[in-house]
Each structure stands twice: as C-alpha cells, then as structure tokens.
C-alpha cells in the first residue's frame, strides 16, 4: 500500500482486519477531559478499492488533526472532510460549552452518552446542540455493529426483521444488536442516550415513533438513523422502509368481493399507526370501486393489534341482527381472535364466516383452517433498512428517502363464497 509521505506515514496507520476491511487510525493528542490518548479512527469496508479509499481517509483524518491543532484552520470547513449534511457553521465543543454555560468535558460526556451529568444540565446541553446545529466534525471510534430498536421483542416479526438486518450487516462483518425501548422507558432512561454510549455504525428503529430530540441527539453525534415501518410519518430527513399497506388492503378486499361478499366487517389497527390507516384506506377504496361502500357500522378500531381485540370486536359483530359474512383484520393476531369468537358462536370458517388477516406469521399456516392473509416481506424490509443505514454511515445520500416493498395476498382455506 502506498503512502502519501513520511510525515503522514508516521502519524497515521492502516491496519488490515481479519474481515478484509481496513482500519485507519491517526493520533489526535490527549483528551483534556480524561487525560487519555485520543485517536481518530475510521473503518473502510473490504473491496477492490479499499486500499485507495483507506489512503484517502488517512489523508482526511490527518488534515482534521492539523485543523484541530491550528486554531485558525479550525474555523474553516475542512476541504477533504466527508459531508455530513447541512450545517450552520463549524461549531466547536468549546463554543457549545459556552452557549450552555458548562465545561467542554461536560459537552463531551453528553455527546458520548457517558454518565456523570445531571439531568437538567444534560437537557440544557442537548438543547444547545440542537438549536445551534452542531454536527460532530471529527471521526470517532464506531462499534462494529448495527443497532435495532424495538418497542417490545415479543413479536415474531421482530425476529424476521433481525434476520434481514443481519443478512446485510453480516456481509460487512458487522454484528447486529437490539434495544428494547419498552424496557428502557420503564427505567426512565432514553434508548437514544444508551446508543450514544455504544456508538454503533447506525440505528434502525422498528414499529416505533421517535422524537425530534432523540433524532437530533443521534444526528449530532453522527449516528445515522433509519425508520422501519414507523408509527407515523417520519421527519423528512429520516429515511424509512415500509410495506405497501394500502395495496395490501385493496388486495384483501378485492379477494372477498370477488367471492361475492358484500357485508364485510373490518377490525382495524390503532389509528395512530400509519400502516393501520393505510390498510383501512385501501379496503375503503376497493369497496367503493366495487360499488359496495364500507358500512361504518361494521368497522371496529383496535388499539394494540391484539388477539383480544379481534375476539371482543368479533363477538360484538357476530351478535348483530344482520352479522357480516366476512371479516378483514388489521393483523393476524386480531384474525386469530376472530377465529375464537366464531368457534364460541358455533360458526364454521369459511362456511359461515370468511376471515382475512395481515402479516402472514407462522401460526396462521397451522391454525384450522389455514388463514388467508396479506404477507409483509419483513426479512426484505430489514435488509433494505440495513442497506440504507450503512449507506448513510458511509457518507452517501440514499437515492430514495422512502423505500416501500410490495405485499402479497396469500389465499388459503379461511375464505369462501358466502352462503
């Protein structure tokens, strides 16, 4: 591997890792807060251009060290620095400390998620970082992993997402970790603060809303974030991955309409979930297109996508003087609840009642009868989210801010023409 010069060779080193990736490390002096030696480190993925990229990275890191040691150069943007998005100036840690009325080591602790900072002080520093558009200019040591954040880990869908993320991360010799935001919120600690201390390559949040403060905290430290099936519309700057829920709702409704059903009930998901609104919207559109508008008296809204919701709402619907001949559900768990309500009412599926779910979890292939449902490609969605977050970590701007993967209607034995 060539060297750009003796001075740079002495101050920067490139190490070839067992994975084939190259780790570039440049000595950057002593940290005034901890008194420890500080290095700027960056890993270049394995590939035919890795050697050339590593030399470019080493040159850039050396220039960054020179800029940190030269106060006049520090005020100028680095010509070779990798772009990190729109910035309001090259704000330094010392400047943030002055704005927040704290010391520079305190700002450093906040940026790295370290303890030892009072909650009120931490909030004041975080506000100053956000309000003044601070973006960490120097490279930092990143843990070789992608972190996936869930709200609860009970769902089988979470396992499929992890498989998809690992499929991509594994090819880059990166590990995959997970954080349970539900557990974190129970302890009163923000999952974003924990991730700061771990410094992963990137973060994928799944089925989870996040605040602008949480996003800003990660962005300030240069940790890219991607949302997978977000609960609401993410901020315009946050790339997201989802399924074609509207199309899935249309396909499910058209299937029942093609069988001859007209009195169709819907048990929808939580109204604050973007996917639930899209599925219900697709059902409405398909039925209106067919000339059979959805009867709002047959619509029930769930709050948790839960089995109990499907059971309780179906019991109520089946007791109506003119009950539905088919039920479309927001997810498979609700549909399994409809199965139980039908069993207790002495109804047969599909002879007396057709049922359609959404997700295609393994249980619906084994229940009696096997369930017609709309399949979400969760493994592929996890892989797409991992591709996006690794592109952001490499400093590339994704071609699309929103990636939407197709859903598929899987017809099994729970649907048939009405009597």
Whole-structure pTM value: 0.70
Confidence of residue 154 (pLDDT cuts 50, 70, 90): low
Short-list 224, 226, 229, 218, CA closest to 194: 218
| Listed range (54-63, 314-323, 333-342, 388-397) with the worst mean pLDDT | 54-63
Residue indicated by tokens 């080591």:
105
- DSSP element (H, E) containing 333: helix 332-344
The CA distance from 124 to 118, in Å, is: 10
Residue 270: its pLDDT value, please? Answer: 93
Examine the pLDDT at 395 and tell me if it is beyond 50. Answer: yes
Taking phi over 0 as left and psi of -120 to 50 as alpha, with beta for the rest, 90 belongs to beta
CA distance 347 to 368: 13
Distances 387 to 44, 101, 370, 396 between C-alpha atoms, Å: 16, 40, 34, 11
* pLDDT tens-digit map of 318-374: 999 999 999 999 999 999 999 999 999 999 999 999 999 999 999 999 999 999 999
pLDDT reading at 203 higher than 70: yes
Instruction: Write down all domains in the chain, each with its CATH number in brackets.
Output: 1-81 (no CATH), 89-139 (1.10.260.40), 143-243+380-404 (3.40.50.2300), 245-376 (3.40.50.2300)
Q: Which tokens sit at 36?
A: 């420890």
């Amino acid at each position: 591997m060539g060297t750009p010069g003796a001075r740079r060779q002495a101050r920067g080193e490139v190490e070839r890792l067992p994975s084939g990736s190259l780790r570039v490390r440049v000595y950057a002096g002593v940290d005034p807060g901890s008194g420890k030696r500080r290095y700027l480190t960056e890993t270049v993925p394995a590939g035919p251009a890795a050697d050339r990229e590593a030399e470019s990275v080493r040159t850039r890191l050396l220039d960054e060290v020179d800029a940190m040691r030269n106060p006049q150069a520090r005020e100028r943007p680095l010509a070779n620095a990798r772009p990190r998005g729109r910035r309001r100036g090259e704000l330094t840690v010392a400047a943030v400390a002055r704005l927040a009325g704290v010391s520079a080591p305190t700002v450093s602790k906040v940026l790295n998620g370290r303890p030892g900072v009072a909650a009120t002080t931490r909030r004041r520093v975080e506000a100053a970082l956000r309000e003044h558009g601070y973006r960490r200019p120097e490279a930092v040591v990143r843990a070789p992993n992608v972190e996936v954040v869930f709200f609860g880990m009970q769902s089988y869908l979470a396992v499929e997402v992890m498989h998809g993320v690992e499929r991509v991360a594994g090819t880059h010799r990166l590990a995959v970790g997970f954080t349970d935001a539900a557990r974190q919120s129970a302890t009163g600690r923000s999952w974003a603060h924990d991730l700061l201390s771990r410094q992963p390559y990137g973060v994928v949040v799944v089925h989870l809303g996040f605040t602008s403060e949480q996003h800003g905290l990660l962005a300030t430290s240069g940790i890219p974030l991607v949302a997978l099936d977000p609960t609401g519309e993410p901020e315009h700057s946050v790339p997201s991955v989802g399924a074609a829920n509207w199309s899935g709702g249309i396909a499910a409704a058209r299937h029942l309409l093609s069988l001859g059903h007209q009195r169709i009930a819907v048990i929808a998901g939580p109204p604050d979930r973007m996917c639930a609104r899209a599925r219900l919207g697709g059902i409405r559109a398909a039925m209106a297109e067919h000339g059979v508008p959805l009867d709002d008296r047959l619509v029930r809204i769930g709050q948790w996508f839960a089995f109990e919701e499907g059971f309780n709402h179906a019991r109520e619907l089946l007791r109506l003087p003119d009950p539905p001949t088919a039920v479309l559900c927001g997810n498979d768990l609700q549909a399994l609840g409809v199965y139980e309500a039908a069993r207790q009412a002495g109804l047969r599926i599909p002879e007396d009642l057709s049922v359609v779910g959404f997700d295609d979890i393994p249980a619906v292939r084994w229940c009696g009868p096997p369930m017609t449902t709309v399949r979400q490609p969760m493994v592929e969605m996890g892989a797409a989210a991992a591709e996006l977050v690794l592109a952001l970590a490499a400093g590339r701007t994704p071609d699309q801010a929103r990636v939407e993967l197709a859903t598929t209607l899987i017809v099994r034995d729970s649907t048939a023409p009405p009597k």
